[in-house]
Structure 1
Amino acid sequence: MSTPDEATLGQQLARFAAAVRYEDLPAEVVESIRSRVLDILGICAAAAPLETSRGARQWARDQGGTPQANAVGLEKALPAAVAAFVNGVLAHSLDYDDTHLPSVLHPSASVVPAVLAAAQAKGATGPEVIRATAIGLEVCVRLGMAGYDSATQNSVFFEHGQHATSICGAMGSAAAVAALYGGEAMILNALGVAASMASGIIESNRTGGTVKRIHCGWAAHSAVSAVNLVRYGLTGPPTVLEGRFGFYQAWLHGQFDAEAITEGLGEHWSIQDIFFKPYPANHFTHAGVDAAAALRRAGIRPDDIESLVLGVPAPNLRTIGEPIEVKRRPETGYMAQFSGPYAVVAGLLGGGGLEVGLDDYTDDLARDPYRRSLMAKVDVIANEKCTAIFPMQFPAVLTAHLTDGRTIVEEVLTNRGGPKRPLSFDELTRKFRDNARRTMDPDAMSRLERSCRHLEECTDIGEVFTDLAAVDPAGLPISPIS
């Protein structure tokens, strides 16, 4: 137990969160959160027609309860925790949500749905939503970084088969929602209760199954539920994080870095280290898309290419390059999202309205004979230069051997969407439109864009969901991106 002069880790996080004021947030943090809300809601709209999304909505409808908040694709309101679940499922279902490096967390997919649902139930304003989201993202990232092992350059959560995104997401989301309702005591208790609800294992990444798609939804559901239970009198242990039977002992056998949680807390915002995803695929493949697109822009045509070698960080090889026979012949769009050869071909051929978008990752294109003939030319290998940079970036070096005897090398050592190559609000708006046009009409999209661009002016967050509730989960005819 801590002494009066030595606060526990949970107490320090709660003290930080309670002290945050919207007026004191850096302008770049406010802009980042506006963008993240827009990004997540566009992904939710695009994911609405998925079979797993349909299942999540059906389950939600069956729960009954007091109508408090809206879920994407459902006209009738749901209890806030259930609405948070549905929206969190959709937010994480397309592998298009943002990524923090080097923890490899996807923080916004749980924090944003949890905050928006709770804020709607409470009747919160835009500034309250921005403040709570900032708190949730910061807590989520810091808890994840405490489980990052710099020696192995990997998350200890991941090595144990645990999905840090949902586990830390439940905790960060709970801190965020608690900050909407109360002060330091409520936030600390919410962390203590949410820790008994945090969950997620990633075996489905290895052998199949769609359960990973619900992870961020369940994290958001857990967060809202935990805070509501605290509001009704439940409490949690102050030593929830570092205690003998606490969060890090339970998940990581006590192997964690406490300084990652507390160092610079309240002074440095980790939110700026969360990378937006410009492409709807595993983040390890993105630099390969960019390198191949650079060849295309330089005038290199697919017929000019004899062979291609994609160099990636050694730890990424097993995810996007092995077994190479499978990666060269993906059977589905989902498999293509985890294929280095497919990423190269997508970049070579280019997308429609975007460099590469959702329309470039379909089952038909994954099995397209022409694309497979190009994928057959691609080898994926470990590259020392890339390995040295990983995991602060997911770089790639693409070497093209041409039919005329020339060799061209394209290096992409930083990722688009991160602090070194940021995406503007306008660029993220194009991504949003490419996503949302699948289930939303143009007027509804425009209204939602305006709401997110001017989120701090919103007096009732429920207005944001007016159009999202009317999303057509069956999908609409896809119109061009404006």
Structure 2
Amino acid sequence: MTTDAGPTRVQQLAAFVDRARYEDLTEAAAEQLRIRVLDTLGVAIGALDAEPMIAIRELVDDLGGAPRSGLIGGGRTAPDRAAFVTSGLSRYLDFMDSYLAPGETCHPSDNLGAVLACADSVGASGKELLTALAVAYQVHTRLSDEAPVRAKGFDHTVQGAYAAAAGAAKALRLPAAQIAHAIAISGTANNALRVTRTGNLSHWKGLAYPQVAKEGTFAALLAARGITGPEEVFEGNKGFEDSIAGPFSIDWEAEDLESVLRTIIKKHNAEIHSQSALDAAQDVRAQDGFSASAITGVRLRTFDVAHSIIGGGEEGDKRTVRTKEEADHSLPWMLAVVLLDGELTPAQYHHERVLADDVHDLMRLVEIVPDDELSARFPQAMPADLEVTLADGTVFRSAADSYEGFHTDPLSWGGAREKFDALAAPFASAELRDRIAGIVEDLEHHEVADLMDALAQVRSSRA
């Protein structure tokens, strides 16, 4: 796959993927990758009882598939279907990690489903799994930096199509030429619309990336059988640059595997741009004299991206909340429930709480205001300035610009373990949680099969 001018850009990217080695990772990056694996698995286990995920698992079981890749909770299926299920589980709660670029936000942990399924299917080592995941993180974040697509009406899963295929192909141990074809096939075929996350939200909000994980895996499997893709997917006539992204440049020879250090992990079970605002709401609630029942007004000044996506700006009104999917992307609803309950966890997304009158009554009092000064500080900071007024005229204020899990205050292994235990406890005994976490903490000295054997013992709380 070359042109008269030399290697195509997808071939240059494939060469980066091919030469990546575990030894290229700094210890700091390797540690944060292990933390991301534990965090993502905890979120995935915590979604086992979600109705959409039960339906998807039943569908996969009905369809069958060559038993090459393991599933959380037991059973095996074809790698592309395993990628969809695992990615769906890790995405459903909307409690995963994120990457903030000026024009794009993505969730690089979405790639674990594809990487894990492919690594398991070939008997890969833990080092190979971590290396493939690091590759996916690097591709996803760098394309989000240099080729944002949100403003043009496309979803952040568009960049993910290149990342998922790159990670899957690396995990499958494909040579550089086949890696390039896998990336080209996946990138050409998966250009999703942003309507997924605007207006009234559907189950597809949490399944759009699992679809990309599935298709990126299948593209890698196709490439492994000799199927070729468009060699100029990036720069060609009506390619990615021409049709969607516009001109951009990434020197893949200069890239490392360290971008995981620039990603952040959610503290609250909420859309990423809400995290510091919810910290501020918790602080207000803890102040002496505060009474949620006496609130007459809530005003949040925040950065423009938060207002646009979850605050009622360009991506639609956020005061129509009927489902979990709409609730976790409504900043007025999330502020209201935290001011009332003091937390935002999967428990707040039970249907009765989503529709509760006290939350909806308070949500109507919430005003979200974009602020130019705060916007200028994003994405290096995530600023929020909250003011809550009570009936007697008392005003409570709190401001925050980061939180535990932001890149200025990275989540520690201990913090990750606490979150993992909280999410996985209904589905796994303390002994099993210790086993899973122990394997992940020392993953470079384990086989992927060890991890999958442990994950197979997790059981739905309905069992």
Give yes or no for TM over 0.5: yes
Correspondence list, 1:438-477, <5 A: 438-458=426-446, 460-473=447-460, 475=462
- Residue ranges of structure 2 left out of the alignment (5+ in a row): none
Q: What is the percent sequence identity of the aligned residues? A: 28
In the alignment, is residue 141 of structure 1 matched against residue 141 of structure 2? yes
Give the Cα separation in 2 of the matches to 1:113 and 1:98. 14
Match of 1:320 in 2: 310
- The answer on whether the counterparts of 1:48 and 1:90 sit within 8 Å (CA) in structure 2 is yes
Give the Cα separation in 2 of the matches to 1:255 and 1:376. 40
Give the Cα separation in 2 of the matches to 1:79 and 1:333. 30
Match of 1:197 in 2: 189
Match of 1:186 in 2: 178
In the alignment, is residue 271 of structure 1 matched against residue 254 of structure 2? no
Match of 2:339 in 1: 348
Give the Cα separation in 2 of the matches to 1:27 and 1:378. 44
**Structure 1 segments (4+ residues) deviating >4 Å:** 1-6, 303-306, 325-329, 402-406
Correspondence list, 1:95-110, <5 A: 95-102=94-101, 103-109=104-110
Residue by residue, what CA displacement relative to the aligned partner does 1:318-368 show, whole Å, maximum 9, x if unpaired?
443339x975674444333223233333443455xxx53212333222333
1:113 deviation in Å? 0.9
- The answer on whether the counterparts of 1:275 and 1:418 sit within 8 Å (CA) in structure 2 is yes
Give the Cα separation in 1 of the matches to 2:350 and 2:318. 15
1:115 deviation in Å? 1.0
Give the total of aligned pairs.
Answer: 456
Residue by residue, what CA displacement relative to the aligned partner does 1:286-341 show, whole Å, maximum 9, x if unpaired?
22211111223333522565532111223433443339x97567444433322323
- The answer on whether the counterparts of 1:175 and 1:190 sit within 8 Å (CA) in structure 2 is yes
Give the Cα separation in 1 of the matches to 2:270 and 2:306. 14
Could you tell which deviates more after superposition, 57-66 or 219-228?
Answer: 57-66
Matched AA of 2:203: T
Match of 1:214 in 2: 207
1:117 deviation in Å? 0.7
3-state SS of 1:101 partner? strand
Give the Cα separation in 1 of the matches to 2:230 and 2:318. 47
1:69 deviation in Å? 0.8
Correspondence list, 1:317-466, <5 A: 317-322=307-312, 327=318, 330-349=321-340, 351=342, 355-402=343-390, 405-458=393-446, 460-466=447-453
Matched AA of 1:34: R
Provide the alpha-carbon RMSD of the alignment.
2.7
Match of 1:152 in 2: none
Give the Cα separation in 1 of the matches to 2:325 and 2:389. 29
Correspondence list, 1:163-174, <5 A: 163-165=155-157, 167-174=158-165
Matched AA of 1:298: Q
Give the Cα separation in 2 of the matches to 1:463 and 1:28. 24
The change in CA–CA distance for 1:228 and 1:321 in structure 2 (over 3 A counts) is closer
Matched AA of 1:160: K
- Residue ranges of structure 1 left out of the alignment (5+ in a row): 149-156, 477-482
Give the Cα separation in 2 of the matches to 1:240 and 1:334. 33
3-state SS of 1:72 partner? coil
Match of 1:28 in 2: 28
1:55 deviation in Å? 2.3
